[in-house]
Amino acid sequence: MTDATANAPPAKSRANAGQFVKGRSANPGGKKPGTKNRRTVLAEKMLANIDVPGILAKMERQAKKGDHAAAKLILDRTVPIRRGCPIAIKLPPIANASDCVAAMGVVIAKLASGTLSTIEAAELSNVIDAERKSIELLDVERRLATLEEKFK
């Protein structure tokens, strides 16, 4: 540091109105870039003297011998849980809000027949409802534009 910067007052991190000033840190002496999280440091210390590849190899051998707990542990950590899958369902085209009633009818019929699960039906209902809301919003915008044009 030069003498000029050492004697300069610290820059305010907030403006007079109390808002943060862009580019100024409220804690300029904070963590430096590249500083590791405490949990990361602790995990590295704990694993420093452990034979992780050996443990994994043993877990694999146990899983292959039929140990369900070992197999579950390995699969839970390596294969992501599938959140959803594509559904083949024919919905009618939705051009206006009243078409959503017909689409919901198809979803309910598929649910009643056992073709769709309740989770799948709920997700499809949310999609149909989102489409209805966007159609209604577009309709309100059109009406508002017409009224604004009329009263200009």
Give the predicted TM-score (pTM) of the model. Answer: 0.48
Number of domains in the chain: 2
Q: Cβ of 97: how many Cβ atoms within 10 Å?
A: 14
- Dihedral of CA 40/44/50/54: which sign? positive
Residue at 133 is within a domain: yes
What are the tens digits of pLDDT across the range 111-121? 999 999 999 99
For 96-116, the DSSP string reads STTHHHHHHHHHHHHHHHTSS
- Do 64 and 105 belong to one domain? no
Residue at 30 is within a domain: no
* Per-residue pLDDT band at 13 (split at 50, 70, 90): low
Domain extent for 128 = 99-150
* Per-residue pLDDT band at 11 (split at 50, 70, 90): low
Residue at 55 is within a domain: yes
11: left (phi over 0), alpha (psi -120 to 50) or beta: beta
- Do 68 and 104 belong to one domain? no
Q: Inform me whether the pLDDT recorded for 14 exceeds 70.
A: no
Residue at 47 is within a domain: yes
